[in-house]
A and B are shown apart, each in its own frame.
Chain A
Amino acid sequence: MTTRRIFRFLDSRTGGAGAIGKALRYVFPDHWTFLFGEIAMYSFLILVATGTYLALFFEPSTAHVIYHGSYAPLHGQEMTRAYASAVNLSFDVRAGLLIRQVHHWTADVFLAAITIHLMRIFFTGAFRKPRDINYYVGLTMLVLAVLEGYAGYSLLDDLLSGMGLAIGNGVALSIPVVGGQLGTLLWGGRFPGTQDFFSRLFFVHVFLFPVLIGTLMAVHLALVARPHHTQFRGRGRREGNVVGTPMWPAYALRSLGLFFAVAAVLFLLGGLVQINPIWQWGPYEPYLGTNGAQPDWYLGWLIGALRLMPHFDVVIGNYTLIPNPFWGGVLFPGAVFGFLYLWPWIERRWTGDRRVHNLLDRPRDNPIRTAIGAAVFTLVATVFFAGAADRAFIQFGVSYEGQLWGYRAATIFLPALVFFLTRRICVRLRASGEHPGRGSDSVVVGRTTAGGFEQLDPERAGARSED
């Protein structure tokens, strides 16, 4: 009765009851790989909530203070208010450290969920018409999320964030022709920059990028719902329909359950597993550095690229057209994202397939796409691991220079090897009809007309499981 009155109230003012009714019947096809996008979305909500709390205490100021808080080892040390307020909210604000660590863990999970979601979209061909626009929206959110994470951990002005900003400024300076101007423009002068730079970084991190990501997320969801979800092939599933669980009640409850489960894991991590203990790194000064420094995981591929690159600039006369950090810091990520942005177009041109696709491919259904995607992933992963070569040196004593040469060779040979292996595996799997994850060592038996049993040959059994 009350429900009806609320709906009546809303409908007589907005005319929205029809839309709500339709939304409650919206069908979600069930597949576990569809959950990564939801995890990313829920992570974003948790980031906004925890970030809002942190912003109540954090002070993005480069004014210098002497620390007198409750963390004794830093007593009497000179530092910026930004760093001091981050240490204070960790030690002197109740639940402050919990929220800060949850925020940091969530950022890492957010980026991981987006990345896996992107791989699902790529390897199943979900980026094809009519969803190519939405694929670009998603990629743009990934770019923004990486920059947002970088801006976030750079704000704290601890030693690691300062080292990260030094590299960021070096990469900005390395952009041909405009780099010098761009670097001073963004930083308000020569590195380490002025108070203006910190105010800008703070504004970008707490307002500009979150608003952009939030807006794009709304567009992303609208563009998912308009043509409805994709689905894998199966009985009764066609291009023109979508079969699954309707939003209300079961799917809404399940998805809300996923939200709480994601939040539970993140709060467990934030409460029990330390992340970015800034009081151990100490405040940053441009003349300070530490060995074995690592960025958050989603920037690991960039530090790897900067380290792997052989030492050469492009110099014309006295003019340094392309300084070295450009290769690893701009060109490499530019090429990877360029590939991702261009892929739907490349595939369309190459296959001539301009039809609408609502049914998903399994990775094996398109061996070339899967092999190319796997090769690019291998390249990025190899560069990512190269970024951790210093940890392998410090922890295990493996020669750094030797590792670097190994990784340089691997970035050339591994992607090619993975390309041929993946293509071969895909072609074989497609031909055999077997599923690599299911029942490979069992046999299928059938009842004969005489009442006995006989073993069916695997080809037919495979064909059956396809139904």
Chain B
Amino acid sequence: MRGRIAAGFLWIWRYAVAAIVLRLGRRRSVRREIELPSDPGAESWVAALLFGAALAGLAFVAIYAFDDADTQLLGLSIAVALALVAAALILAASLVVPQETLEEHRPPFADPEAAESGDPVEDAALTLREGSDGVTRRRLLGAAGAAAGVGLGAAALVPLASLGPAVGDRYEESPWKDGVRLVEENGMAVKVDDLEVGSFVTAFAEGADKEGLATSLAVVRVRTQELELPPDRADWAPEGILAFSKICTHAQCAISLFRYPLFAERSPGPALVCPCHYSTFNVLDGGQRIFGPAVRPLPQLPLRIEGGTLVAAGPLSGEVGASWGRVREEG
């Protein structure tokens, strides 16, 4: 009887141990499923693919050396070499080496309850605090440190101002004033007789740097009777020739499109269009925006004709290029 009870306890004991082992096992031990490779043929395939890659690599070298380095052949040969290596590796990964599924336990760092000894956060905070044990005037030192930081930070940032010049009262000097001649890209004066109705040429201020934003103009010609210029600009467009800054007032791309209707009754009127964001400016009324994101009108240049060539009759009517804070102030 006692023996049976003892045996019963023994079994309970065994079950308890087994349960604890299993329970711990679920937490500690790592589950692992492994399957050894069983396809010897795959190894030959991998080897063949790698040899193929070697050949393709050598083909690249040969093309580079002998065949005048044709871009398409170079690209094709190196791509084939790389693709064969890729195929070999992927094949090897799934058929040549052991296939293994592993269970790993995550480190419990994000969970203070699961940390094994003590709370590392508390430990670290304590270590940091202990560094200032015995220091009496903490706030004074802290303030002094912050002041040093501000001073040094300012000193570190200020040299950045050397990067470029400051913006003055005017953003840029424009070369346009009364009497400046309009020239084409080759330096020849723009002739009135060369400009047909509906034509569009790019012109520059004579003697000025062509890359200066304010230098380039879009010069167009329309019929005189079409013009709807405001009264104060009535004499700015002799013989229907109008000149505008070529730089869009939205984001300063070059306005390289001129829309001139072939059949005025059915089409929208003549306009300059910027190809970047399609801001569209009516040339007839002095460059007012009719479509697109630009807000300011295109600056117009008053013209007069001297000896069959075009000459500026004054400065541009506004600031050239994209808008910024003081762009609307009168210069």
Q: How many angstroms from the CA of A319 to the CA of B105 in the assembled complex? A: 62
A236 interface residue, CB < 8 Å from B? yes
B328 interface residue, CB < 8 Å from A? yes
> Binary interface profile of A, 179-192, with partner B (CB < 8 Å = 1, else 0)?
11101111111111
Q: Is the CB of A184 within 8 A of B289?
A: no
> Binary interface profile of B, 47-86, with partner A (CB < 8 Å = 1, else 0)?
0000000000000000010000101111110111111011
Q: Is the CB of B328 within 8 A of A318?
A: yes
Interface residues of A in 156-203 (CB under 8 A from B): 163, 166-167, 169-171, 173-174, 176-177, 179-181, 183-192, 196, 200
Interface residues of B in 82-124 (CB under 8 A from A): 82-83, 85-90, 92-94, 97-111
Q: Is the CB of B163 within 8 A of A272?
A: no
Q: A185-B161, A289-B274, A323-B323 are in contact. Are A192 and B211 (CB under 8 A)?
A: yes
Q: How many angstroms from the CA of A185 to the CA of B293 in the assembled complex? A: 26
> Binary interface profile of B, 149-176, with partner A (CB < 8 Å = 1, else 0)?
0000000000011011111000110000
Q: Is the CB of B323 within 8 A of A324?
A: yes
A106 to chain B, nearest CB (A): 13
Q: Is the CB of B322 within 8 A of A94?
A: no
Q: How many angstroms from the CA of A189 to the CA of B321 in the assembled complex? A: 14
Q: Is the CB of A170 within 8 A of B250?
A: yes
Q: Is the CB of A227 within 8 A of B277?
A: no
Q: Is the CB of A321 within 8 A of B213?
A: no
Q: Is the CB of B172 within 8 A of A185?
A: no
B189 interface residue, CB < 8 Å from A? no
A309 to chain B, nearest CB (A): 5
A307 contacts which chain B residues (CB < 8 A)?
277-278, 292-293
A37 interface residue, CB < 8 Å from B? no
B101 to chain A, nearest CB (A): 7
B37 to chain A, nearest CB (A): 10
Task: Kindly identify which residue among A25, A27, A286 contacts B211, using a CB–CB cutoff of 8 Å.
Answer: A286
> Binary interface profile of B, 7-25, with partner A (CB < 8 Å = 1, else 0)?
0000000000000000000
> Binary interface profile of A, 194-227, with partner B (CB < 8 Å = 1, else 0)?
0010001000000000000000000000000011
Q: Is the CB of A268 within 8 A of B165?
A: no
Q: A186-B164, A191-B321 are in contact. Are A288 and B89 (CB under 8 A)?
A: no
Q: A180-B326, A263-B82 are in contact. Are A166 and B102 (CB under 8 A)?
A: no
Interface residues of A in 225-271 (CB under 8 A from B): 226-228, 236, 239-246, 249-251, 253-254, 256-261, 263-265, 267-271
CB closest chain-A residue, reference B322: A170
B165 contacts which chain A residues (CB < 8 A)?
184, 188-189
B97 contacts which chain A residues (CB < 8 A)?
249-250, 253
A189 contacts which chain B residues (CB < 8 A)?
164-165
Task: Kindly identify which residue among B92, B247, B329 contacts A318, using a CB–CB cutoff of 8 Å.
Answer: B329
A257 contacts which chain B residues (CB < 8 A)?
85-90, 93
B275 interface residue, CB < 8 Å from A? yes
A448 contacts which chain B residues (CB < 8 A)?
none
Task: Kindly identify which residue among A167, A228, A240, A264 contacts B79, using a CB–CB cutoff of 8 Å.
Answer: A264
Please tell me the number of chain A residues within 8 Å of chain B, measured between CB atoms: 100
Q: Is the CB of B276 within 8 A of A272?
A: no
Q: A166-B253, A180-B171, A390-B278 are in contact. Are A311 and B295 (CB under 8 A)?
A: yes
Q: Is the CB of B275 within 8 A of A291?
A: yes
Q: Is the CB of B164 within 8 A of A188?
A: yes
A190 contacts which chain B residues (CB < 8 A)?
171-172, 212-213, 321
B91 to chain A, nearest CB (A): 8
Q: Is the CB of A254 within 8 A of B164?
A: no
Known: A180-B324, A258-B90, A325-B323. 8 other contacts (CB 8 A): A173-B322, A185-B160, A185-B164, A259-B86, A267-B82, A268-B79, A291-B257, A323-B322
Q: A292-B275, A312-B295, A320-B324 are in contact. Are A166 and B89 (CB under 8 A)?
A: no
Q: How many angstroms from the CA of A66 to the CA of B90 in the assembled complex? A: 51
B237 interface residue, CB < 8 Å from A? no
Q: Is the CB of B79 within 8 A of A180?
A: no
A356 interface residue, CB < 8 Å from B? yes
Q: How many angstroms from the CA of A179 to the CA of B322 in the assembled complex? A: 11
Q: Is the CB of B275 within 8 A of A290?
A: yes
Q: How many angstroms from the CA of A313 to the CA of B71 in the assembled complex? A: 49
B249 to chain A, nearest CB (A): 9
Q: Is the CB of B164 within 8 A of A260?
A: no
Q: A98-B74, A166-B252, A227-B107 are in contact. Are A287 and B100 (CB under 8 A)?
A: no
A226 to chain B, nearest CB (A): 7
Task: Kindly identify which residue among A171, A181, A253 contacts B90, using a CB–CB cutoff of 8 Å.
Answer: A253
> Binary interface profile of B, 211-253, with partner A (CB < 8 Å = 1, else 0)?
1110110000000000000000000000000000011001111
Q: Is the CB of A241 within 8 A of B82?
A: no
- In order of increasing CB-CB distance, the 9 nearest A-B pairs are A271-B75, A170-B251, A257-B89, A170-B322, A323-B323, A287-B216, A260-B86, A253-B93, A264-B82
Q: A241-B105, A311-B292 are in contact. Are A95 and B69 (CB under 8 A)?
A: yes
A246 contacts which chain B residues (CB < 8 A)?
100, 102
B108 contacts which chain A residues (CB < 8 A)?
240
Q: Is the CB of A181 within 8 A of B167?
A: yes
B256 interface residue, CB < 8 Å from A? yes
Q: Which of B92, B166, B167 has the most C-beta atoms of chain A within 10 angstroms of its own C-beta?
A: B167
